[in-house]
Amino acid sequence: MSQDKIKWVCVFKSNSRFEAEAVQGNLESSDIPCVLINKQDSSYLSFGYVEIHVPDSYQVIAENLLNDSIQQN
């Protein structure tokens, strides 16, 4: 039995967890499934990134939403 696997793509990357959580909240409030992946060093939080990933079928929608929110600011 084969299962359909979801391919996740990164649509946002930041070294600020707060900023990434805000983006995650915006995507979730628009009914876009997403996950936050913390790739920061646990000892030195200034090294590494926090990424937001969405299913590849939502990539264009998520990127458009993020670009619109950047242009509004």
- Structural domains of the chain in order of their starting residue, each with its CATH number: 8-72 (3.30.70.1530)
pTM, 2 dp: 0.83
What's the pLDDT tens digit per position in 43-54?
Answer: 765 678 999 999
pLDDT score, position 1: 46
User: Within 10 Å of residue 44's Cβ, how many Cβ atoms?
Assistant: 8
Q: pLDDT digits over 9-41, tens only?
A: 999 999 989 999 999 999 999 999 999 999 887
